Amino acid sequence: MNRMPSLTAQKEEASVFELSVRILQAQNIHTSDTATNPDCYVCLELPTALAEKKRTKTVWNCTDPVWDETFHFRIHSLIKNILEVSLHDEDISTADDHLLTVSYDLGNVPLNKTVLERFILNKERNEELQVEFHIVSIPEKLDVRLGFNLCDQEKIFLHKRQKVVAEAMKKVLQLKGDLVGEEVPVVAIMATGGGARAMSCLYSNLFALKKMGLLDCVTYIAGASGSTWTMSNLYEDPEWSQNELSEFIHNAKEQVTRTKTKTFSMERLKYYHKELRQAAMEGQKTSFTDLWGLMIESMFHNGKNESKLSDQQAALQNGQNPLPIYLAINVKQHEISTLDFKEWCEFTPYEVGLLKYGASIRTEDFGSEFYMGRLMKKNPEPRICYLQGLWGNVFSLNLIDTWYLTTQVETFWDHWGKDKTNDLDENELRIRKESAHMKTHLFTPPSTFSSILKGILTNRPIDGEQQNFLRGLHLHKDYIHQSQFCTWKDTDLDSVPNKLTPLEENLCLVDAGYFINASFPPLLKPERKVDIIISFDYTLETPLMAVEQTCKYCTTQGIGFPSVSLGEEEKSHHKECYCFVDDDNPHAPIVLHFPLVNDTFRKYKEPGVLRSEEDMPEGDVDVSGYSPYFLTNFTYSECDFDKLMKLTQYNIENNSSTILEALHTAVERRKSKNTFSQMQQTPVKAQQQ
């Protein structure tokens, strides 16, 4: 059985066989209708291998039908495989008659042998069905990578990027000696969503970091929602961080300030229809999310963009740019809100992976069909615009998610919409400690009113349905106790394996901002060893909510993250930069949080340069909920765009000393860890000598 990885990132694989089932013929088949001969077909159902049934053609008006059709299945060697073969009589005017079903244990078929079975259906009438079985082994190599460790390509990138970062840090921190190996801190940028506002601000933030010589100190850039639009545009240029960013900002200004009426023109609608039809023909599951992606392409890109996410590998080949990580969440398409089920899904130019399961596929294979860890049908990789629509789909919200985001109140949903779950095991604590047995649950469905309400609140009419690359994999019987799984285990359904993603036909990927409007999770993987996270929060009105929610989430999950505790004065008067540090936990990164606020920029046009009376209007940038930068506005005036750019650039430059201090702290932490590690290894080496 292919199973999810254990604590040591091992995976338990069993042999996978290919089963061929050849439906030959039937003899002397009769039905209750004596006036006509039957119109027979055969259905095959193997739930342990395939969710849907397979069926033969119909042989009309015949008591001795011959089909001679072969069907193929992939089966696990260590689970019980029972094939159900059912015979039906087709009826055009009424429902088909189900004549009989044979349940056949495939354990009766030896490997590499052909077995002919004559199933006696009725001895008195000599009715029989002839079926031939053949099982062969197939190569063990999986196309889904199972393991929580980083992929080889990312490891190679990190080795190259480390040299770039070491040189940049030596220069910007004015260090006397070189940083070597593990002494080099890993700095990451975390960008939130926010539509065109997030897209615009990230350009400005990166411009400021480059101006200060800090951009080459960054190893990762993680983004969610609108900030991913900036990232994907930048990485079309393999040398973007080594070039001037002013041209990118100029292009962004043209795109954000121009009218969007052409996006909805008849010409564009015909183009969308043509592109979606082509995508569907290539095997892509199309939805409104894909249409939204084409609209993003129309609004923020000049012409059709043929680039794909895997093309961005060219921008990482020499470690010349930070590694981009794009974040989404996998949710249930119907009946379950994001509060009750969500799974982090990360995209890089190398891989697409679900964090909780430690399962990843090559980015080139995203959108292809997988089963039991094998690539079954290779489909073309989707264009980047379709992923932009997925990462930044402001329409994928269901009503209960909207309720939660706007009120933060869960009691209404808990009372009226949620299935009631009661634990029946009396010795629950003992069982949890001593075994991997699941708790016994009694599920009480909601009332009729609650069911109707639940359907309305949780329906996602505009979802991002994708091929599920976990389909056919089975969770290890001890999965609930594996530490990596537990790190991201945050829903009731995690204790119900039959409800988890490997048993779903499709993924439903949506904007990560509808749980927490941040992209912290991929940066908190212990394998990435991130020391500093520079957090760019583009939220209006609630500039600390994302980092506070992340802190609460990490505390619950046992993930290293500094405490976010603020006094009343700090909450009432938001600062341009917050520094959160946990001195007692070396595994918790330093978080520098830059909210979207307008504080000293009102009086200073540049750090240390007061505004004149004539310049005062430029410092008046409205970042309240009633500002022109609200989420669903994709067109700004030139004046509003320029003000937003100057504000976000200023906030970074005005807090350069805080960033440099954090870098110094990270370097010292790294050196201390390295020294401690060497001290631990010294006695071992001496003993060996």
- The span from the CA of 521 to the CA of 247, in Å, is 31
Q: To 5 degrees, how large is the angle CA 219–CA 151–CA 146?
A: 140
Q: What is the pLDDT of residue 306?
A: 96
How many CA atoms are closer than 13 Å to the CA of 391, on its beta-carbon side? Answer: 35
Domain count, the chain: 3
Least confident of 80-89, 444-453, 514-523, 665-674: 444-453
Q: What is the three-class DSSP state of 212? A: coil
Q: What is the pLDDT of residue 6?
A: 38
Q: Are residues 188 and 269 both part of a single domain?
A: yes
Q: What is the three-class DSSP state of 32? A: coil
- The span from the CA of 328 to the CA of 331, in Å, is 10
Pairing of strands 374-377, 369-371: antiparallel
User: Is the pLDDT higher at 313 or at 36?
Assistant: 313
- The span from the CA of 302 to the CA of 503, in Å, is 41
The arithmetic mean of pLDDT across residues 441-445, rounded, is 46
Q: What is the pLDDT of residue 150?
A: 97
Residue 480 lies in a domain: no
Q: To 5 degrees, how large is the angle CA 241–CA 245–CA 248?
A: 115
User: Is the pLDDT higher at 571 or at 87?
Assistant: 87
Q: Are residues 633 and 539 both part of a single domain?
A: yes
- The span from the CA of 571 to the CA of 597, in Å, is 13
**Residue that terminates a domain, selected from 115, 137, 159:** 137
Residue 583 lies in a domain: yes
How many CA atoms are closer than 13 Å to the CA of 462, on its beta-carbon side? Answer: 17
Amino acid at 380: P
Residue 470 lies in a domain: no
Question: What angle, 0 to 180 degrees and rounded to 10, lies between the N-to-C axes of helices 266-281 and 288-300?
Answer: 130
- The span from the CA of 88 to the CA of 56, in Å, is 10
User: Is the pLDDT higher at 483 or at 5?
Assistant: 483
Q: Which residues pair with 535 in a beta bridge?
A: 190, 593
Q: Which two tokens stand for residue 533?
A: 């996270």
Q: What is the pLDDT of residue 589?
A: 98
The 10 Å CB-count burial string (b at 16+, else e) for 606-621 is eeeeebeeeeeebbeb
State the catalytic residues: 225, 511
Q: What is the three-class DSSP state of 595? A: strand
Most confident stretch, 2-11, 405-414, 553-562: 553-562
Most confident stretch, 73-87, 452-466, 653-667: 653-667
Residue 74 is part of which domain span? 16-137
Q: Is residue 490 pLDDT above 80, yes or no?
A: no
Q: Find the helix or strand (DSSP H, E) in which 131 lies.
A: strand 127-137
- Whether 71 contacts 57, CB under 8 Å: no
Q: Is residue 461 pLDDT above 60, yes or no?
A: no
Q: Give me the phi and psi of 44, to 5 degrees please.
A: -120, 130
Q: Report residue 285 CA to chain centroid gap.
A: 17
Q: Are residues 247 and 369 both part of a single domain?
A: yes
Q: Which residue has the tokens 């489909």?
A: 379
Q: Is residue 485 pLDDT above 80, yes or no?
A: no
- The span from the CA of 432 to the CA of 185, in Å, is 39
Q: What is the pLDDT of residue 676?
A: 59
Q: Are residues 316 and 195 both part of a single domain?
A: yes
Q: Is residue 603 pLDDT above 90, yes or no?
A: yes
Q: Is residue 65 pLDDT above 90, yes or no?
A: yes
Least confident of 89-93, 461-465, 530-534: 461-465
Q: Are residues 277 and 378 both part of a single domain?
A: yes
List pLDDT tens digits, range 152-161: 999 999 999 9
**Residue that terminates a domain, selected from 108, 137, 166:** 137
Q: Which two tokens stand for residue 302?
A: 């000049």
Residue 516 lies in a domain: yes
Q: Are residues 225 and 307 both part of a single domain?
A: yes
- Whether 156 contacts 17, CB under 8 Å: no
Q: How confident is the model at residue 338 (pLDDT cuts 50, 70, 90)?
A: low
- The span from the CA of 508 to the CA of 565, in Å, is 35
Q: Are residues 124 and 259 both part of a single domain?
A: no
Q: Is residue 422 pLDDT above 50, yes or no?
A: no
Within 10 angstroms of residue 462's Cβ, the number of other Cβ atoms is 17
Question: Torsion-angle region of residue 294: left (phi > 0), alpha (psi -120 to 50) or beta?
Answer: alpha
Q: Are residues 349 and 252 both part of a single domain?
A: yes
List pLDDT tens digits, range 170-218: 999 999 999 999 999 999 999 999 999 999 999 999 999 999 999 999 9
Q: Which residue has the tokens 């047995």?
A: 437
Percentage of the chain modeled with pLDDT above 90: 58
Mean pLDDT computed over every residue of the chain:
84
Q: How far apart are the first and last CA of the chain?
A: 45
Q: Which two tokens stand for residue 1?
A: 């059985």
Residue 463 lies in a domain: no
Q: Are residues 421 and 282 both part of a single domain?
A: no
Residue 313 lies in a domain: yes
Q: Name the E strands within 457-545.
A: 465-467, 506-511, 532-537
Show Cβ contacts of residue 260 under 8 Å, excluding neighbours closer than 6 positions: 299, 634, 635
- The span from the CA of 172 to the CA of 442, in Å, is 60
Q: Which two tokens stand for residue 503?
A: 């048993």
Q: Which residue has the tokens 């193997």?
A: 46
- The span from the CA of 464 to the CA of 288, in Å, is 8
CATH number of the domain residue 315 falls in: 3.40.1090.10
Q: How confident is the model at residue 411 (pLDDT cuts 50, 70, 90)?
A: very low
Q: How confident is the model at residue 497 (pLDDT cuts 50, 70, 90)?
A: low
Q: How confident is the model at residue 459 (pLDDT cuts 50, 70, 90)?
A: very low
Q: Which residues pair with 223 in a beta bridge?
A: 191, 326
Q: Are residues 442 and 558 both part of a single domain?
A: no
- Using the 8-state DSSP alphabet, how is residue 50 labeled? -
Residue 361 lies in a domain: yes
CATH number of the domain residue 23 falls in: 2.60.40.150
Q: Are residues 127 and 157 both part of a single domain?
A: no
Show Cβ contacts of residue 39 under 8 Å, excluding neighbours closer than 6 positions: 58, 59, 60, 61, 62, 89, 90, 91
- The span from the CA of 3 to the CA of 90, in Å, is 40
Residues in the chain: 689
Residue 34: C-alpha distances to residues 30, 31, 328, 334, 380 (Å): 8, 7, 59, 46, 52
Residue 182 lies in a domain: yes
Question: Torsion-angle region of residue 217: left (phi > 0), alpha (psi -120 to 50) or beta?
Answer: alpha
Q: Are residues 289 and 202 both part of a single domain?
A: yes
